Structure 1
């Protein structure tokens, strides 16, 4: 199933429905490759994820809910955030703080030479400073 991207709405399932249509938990789970119980758990863990509920507790996700689920999935499964870290990143995004993606580093060569360690140390200090600045905001 192809999943086209819409601006500011995240991936919308290509299911023949209008992109602005509400979707059930089953439709969202299938489109994004997430199990339904995971979506229900995320609703408990992320206060901003609140789908509409109808009689009998049936959930209906708005396009912005689908976009939020996509962002949560990216943070947890692609970026490696914890639930708590993802919550903080989403809160920071709301406040206009841009999350900093740290590139993966190759293992440092085993060397006691301080000159070869200096660039890595400077890089790590810059990361520490950016994190400290983000936490102060």
Structure 2
């Protein structure tokens, strides 16, 4: 993972390894935190954008270091979004979604042909 650029997409395995946690925890968090929506490709393969990774790191910090409950983290993230003026997650933007899908397609194509 160290050879990837800072803005590169990460797989669920890479994110789980980075935080030293099992992948199923990240999948569970997707059900509990609506802000966490990694891109999913064929076969439900997940790709985390840098913003997704930052959110996962924030959730991990609040749960495992600061001692919040799931409900407490949900409330904290909601309050932070209101304070930052981010009522809609950035991933919900149609243009961002298209851009991310195209970037992911390029990554997959390079992996197949390279």
When the two structures are superposed, what TM-score results if normalisation uses the length of structure 2? 0.71
Match of 2:42 in 1: 55
User: Which structure's residues are more often helix, by fraction?
Assistant: 2
Task: Report the Cα offset of residue 95 of structure 1.
Answer: 1.0
Find 2:61's aligned residue among 64, 74, 92.
74
Instruction: Point out where structure 2 has 5 or more consecutive residues left out of the alignment.
Output: 85-114
Find 1:37's aligned residue among 17, 24, 28.
24
Decide which structure has the larger Cα Rg and report it: 1
Match of 1:95 in 2: 82
Rounded to whole Å, the distance in 2 between the matches of 1:15 and 1:52 is 21
Three-state SS of the structure 1 residue aligned to 2:47 is strand
Rounded to whole Å, the distance in 1 between the matches of 2:33 and 2:19 is 18
Q: Aligned residues, how many?
A: 84
Rounded to whole Å, the distance in 2 between the matches of 1:61 and 1:46 is 15
Rounded to whole Å, the distance in 1 between the matches of 2:62 and 2:8 is 25
Rounded to whole Å, the distance in 2 between the matches of 1:32 and 1:16 is 17
Instruction: Point out where structure 1 has 5 or more consecutive residues left out of the alignment.
Output: 1-13, 98-137
**Which structure 2 residues correspond to residues 1-137 of structure 1 after superposition, within 5 A?**
15-96=2-83
TM superposition outliers: structure 1 runs of 4+ over 6 Å: none
Task: Report the Cα offset of residue 52 of structure 1.
Answer: 0.0
CA RMSD of aligned residues (A): 1.2
When the two structures are superposed, what TM-score results if normalisation uses the length of structure 1? 0.59
**Highest RCO, 1 vs 2 (Cα 8 Å, sep ≥ 6):** 2
Rounded to whole Å, the distance in 2 between the matches of 1:82 and 1:48 is 17
